[in-house]
């Protein structure tokens, strides 16, 4: 099946630093999504990307849909303590009647030192 390779697995940074994480795949995706999961909660959608090359921002978060459709990255600028959590990328293929299935990466655990 499809797999997403997400890196890094974990990051430990100081408050105020910028953060970058990415996902790569051997398969093409038509949609890339970035979610954040807090402990004991479900994933919350941060950014959705629908076109190759698209660059989208949501506050201090910026994500890009790779030109090859096989990768995406998420940047967080000027991190704050509440950015702590697990960040997941997810991809969705289009067409074929199964474009509802989300394939998730294994997550990046972000820890922010105040």
Query: For binding to other proteins (CB under 8 A), which residues are involved?
Result: 4, 6, 30-31, 35, 40-45, 48, 50, 88, 90, 94, 98-107
Closer by beta carbon to other proteins, 10 or else 68: 10
Q: How far is the CB of 31 from other proteins (least distance, A)?
A: 7
Q: How far is the CB of 110 from other proteins (least distance, A)?
A: 15
Closer by beta carbon to other proteins, 99 or else 113: 99
**Which phi and psi angles does 81 have, rounded to 5°?**
-55, -35
Closer by beta carbon to other proteins, 85 or else 107: 107
């Amino acid at each position: 099946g499809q797999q997403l390779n997400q890196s890094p697995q974990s990051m430990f940074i100081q408050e105020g630093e910028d953060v970058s994480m990415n996902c790569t795949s051997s398969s093409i995706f038509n949609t890339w999504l970035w979610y954040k999961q807090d402990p004991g909660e479900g994933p919350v959608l941060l950014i959705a990307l629908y076109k190759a090359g698209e660059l989208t921002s949501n506050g201090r978060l910026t994500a890009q849909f790779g030109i090859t459709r096989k990768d995406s990255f998420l940047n967080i600028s000027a991190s704050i303590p509440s950015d702590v959590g697990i960040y997941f990328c997810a991809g969705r293929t289009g067409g074929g009647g199964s474009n509802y299935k989300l394939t998730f990466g294994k997550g990046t655990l972000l820890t922010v030192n105040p």
